Structure 1
Amino acid sequence: MKRALSLLGYSIVGLTSVALGGCGQSGDAAPEATEVPKDFASSGPSAKAVESQFGTPVKDRVATIGLLNKRNNLTQDLVMKTGESRRVGNVIIKLANCERTLPWENPPEVGAFVQVFVEERASVQEKLAWHKVFSGWLFKDSPSLNTVEHPVYDVWVKDCAMKFPGEEEDPAAYASSSSAAKASGKASTAPAVAPAPSASPSAAPSPAPAAVPAE
């Protein structure tokens, strides 16, 4: 009797382990690892974007954000619309806005306001929780102004897709016209110096008295 009960207990344990193993291999668990939690998806970026009178409206701009996982040295590009949140593993990136300098401004610069959240433990005793590790502007050509300081992840801005009025024809039209105006201003001073050579030939008639001996 005891032997029968023990065999029954082993069979129940075996069936339980198989059931748990089957749940662990369910195909529904994998997509959840890349979905943005409802708290993040329902609420937009905490930083409110400020509209500019020039260029594409903020809601229509698209930024390309680079993400590096230092553990496996994998890099990927995230193409995001303003106000969008994207989750990759245990990191969430939220894009509030992206900007780039006007076509006639130098030096050119591209920036994006992003927020980075990482699901991690603050200590060994605590549970996994989402922590904000960065919130601010990142600049493509001036990365030292602001950096994402995290031991595992690195985030940077690569591009901001937006246009300014008249940029379709010639983005540097204003710059070229202004430089041409400056060049014409310098050229206008040249004629003031030009009369000097013309005055020297006028002194040439002085040999005319030499023709007096011909009388």
Structure 2
Amino acid sequence: MTRAMAIGSRTAGSMAFAALALMTALAPAPAFAEKIKNPVAVFSGLDKITGRTTSFDVYIDETVQFGALQVTPKVCYSRDESEPQKISGFIEVDEITLDRKIRRIFTGWMFAASPGLNAVDHPIYDVWLTDCKQSSDVPAPEETKVNGQ
């Protein structure tokens, strides 16, 4: 290869790289939908003894008991309906032990698309997040009464 050919191929390569960089810079960025904060988290629970699976709604910051577990969602996010759903929630799960003590067994994020990623590790019950929604057929918890009224 002659020196002129080597310089010409470097110049062509540099121009191709520059063109690719320019196209990448001018390409529209992918749109990411904002997270929607929902007041209700939907869970499924499995009783490993009976094999029964139950679906239940829980309002944010409400605690619901499933077997010996107490499930409290702190936040539940979804996406706009025009976007692929990415359901996620920050959840706390406590176990009521046989001597009636409450022991935290899970605190963290659950993802509906990957229920096994952050699973509740319990010998009898499994609980996982399945959905988030804006309303529920279950009545909302009563507001705390002010001044005992």
- TM class by smaller structure: 0.5 to 0.7
The correspondence for 2:45, drawn from 67, 74, 95, is: 67
1:148-171 Cα deviation digits (max 9, x unpaired): 111111011111114xxxxxxxxx
Q: Go from structure 1 to structure 2 and tell me whether the alpha carbon gap of 1:147 and 1:54 turns closer, same or farther (over 3 Å shift).
A: closer
- Tell me whether 1:94 sits opposite 2:72 in the alignment: yes
Q: Go from structure 1 to structure 2 and tell me whether the alpha carbon gap of 1:143 and 1:88 turns closer, same or farther (over 3 Å shift).
A: closer
Q: 1:83 is paired with a residue of what secondary structure? A: coil
Rg (Cα) greater in structure: 1
Unpaired segments of 5 or more residues in structure 2?
1-33, 135-149
The correspondence for 1:110, drawn from 83, 87, 97, is: 87
Q: Which runs of 4+ in 1 moved over 4 A?
A: none
TM-score normalised per structure 1: 0.42
User: Quick one: which amino acid aligns to residue 86 of structure 1?
Assistant: V
Correspondence list, 1:23-172, <5 A: 55=36, 58=38, 61-105=39-83, 107-121=84-98, 127-162=99-134
Distance (Å, rounded) in 2 between the aligned partners of 1:54 and 1:89: 31
TM-score normalised per structure 2: 0.59
Percent identity between matched residues is 29
Q: Shift of residue 108 of structure 1?
A: 2.5
Distance (Å, rounded) in 2 between the aligned partners of 1:55 and 1:93: 21
Task: Identify the structure with bigger relative contact order (alpha carbons < 8 Å, sequence gap 6+).
Answer: 2
Hey, which of these two has a bigger chunk of helix by percent?
Answer: 1
Unpaired segments of 5 or more residues in structure 1?
1-52, 122-126, 163-215
Q: Shift of residue 94 of structure 1?
A: 0.8
Query: RMSD of the TM alignment (CA)?
Result: 2.4
Hey, which of these two has a bigger chunk of strand by percent?
Answer: 2
Q: Shift of residue 103 of structure 1?
A: 4.1
